[in-house]
Amino acid sequence: MTKKLVRIADYVVGDGKPLLFILGPCVMESEELVLKVADRLAALRDQKQYQIVFKSSFDKANRTSVDSYRGPGMEEGLRMLDLVRQKTGLPTTTDIHEAAQAVPCAEVCSILQIPAFLARQTDLIVAAADAAVARKICVNVKKPQFVAPEDTQHAVKKCRARGLHDVLLTERGTTFGYGRLVNDFRCIPVMKSFGVPVVYDATHSVQLPGGSTTGGQREMALPLARASVAAGADAVFIETHPTPDTAMSDGPNMLQLDRIEEVLRQLTILRDTMISLGV
């Protein structure tokens, strides 16, 4: 199948193009946090010409514990994302969990993200695709932890059936036994064979599910991200926070904000090498 290049705001993503980086704190804890992270990412974009999209969630609807912080809600969350867009010029993305969220989120975001646990929900994908077509944006479908990479083609076909051809697929690990995710890097070329750019989710792939809160191994995120770029990933998703150990969601797997510049540098060198080799 012909490889598809996807335009996201002023960026172009796909074979032969620079990496796209999807970065930001897991959940919107406060306007202060959101803007602090966004300002740092915008500075890296300006200094290094990196293709950076700001990501954060207004609602973590799949938290393990009923007592866990979920986020500020859609209205306040979209206000913060719009503020990021206005102040920094960064394109934005966020998760949607219900079909009714697609249209309002498409008015602010450049990518509508379908969470892994919901990626088989046809009504959600159709609503996202319709909203994306109307706003000329794209949809990023995260591969469920329980789905083979070959089967993600069905989510792509659902989008294309609605007239949406700007689609991304994300590899974020596969459930292996209890409390572990593993990455099979064959997923990347398999999903790319459907004619879409593929994102590697470096921080959710190192989660350690189970217990009252999800654990993680953030020290493994960069080695795995490097492997994903070598395998052909067109984008890398990394959640980052100024002080991950105090974060209100996914702290154990998020990377510290002051480490992000070095991470992006290494991954960019690998991507440039892959492009120079023609692979």
CATH number of the CATH domain containing 89: 3.20.20.70
pLDDT at 3 exceeding the cut of 60: yes
Q: CA quadruple 250, 253, 255, 256: dihedral positive or negative?
A: positive
pTM above threshold 0.85: yes
Mean pLDDT of 166-188: 92
The total number of structural domains that make up the chain: 1
Q: Which residues are CB-contacts of 203 (< 8 A; sequence separation ≥ 6)?
A: 216, 218, 221, 237, 238, 239, 250, 253, 254, 255
pLDDT at 215: 76
User: Is the residue at 277 inside a domain?
Assistant: no
- Mean residue pLDDT across the chain: 94
Beta bridge partners of 57: 27
Cα–Cα distance measured from residue 70 to residue 14, given in angstroms and rounded to the nearest whole number: 33
How many Cβ atoms are within 10 Å of 28's Cβ, its own excluded? 27
78 in a structural domain: yes
Domain membership of residue 65 (yes or no) is: no
Q: What is the pLDDT of residue 180?
A: 83
Q: Is residue 50 part of a domain?
A: yes
Find the domain containing 128 and state its range.
6-22+29-60+70-271
pLDDT in tens, 122-163: 999 999 999 999 999 999 999 999 999 999 999 999 999 999
> Residue 210 belongs to what H/E stretch?
none
Mean pLDDT of 265-273: 98
Q: With 60 as the cut, is the pLDDT of residue 212 above it?
A: no
| Residue 207 resides in a domain | yes
* Residue 123 resides in a domain: yes
- The percent of residues in the chain predicted with pLDDT above 90, rounded, is 87
Task: Say how far apart CA 88 and CA 73 lie, in whole Å.
Answer: 22
- 1 part of a folded domain: no
Does some domain include residue 36?
yes
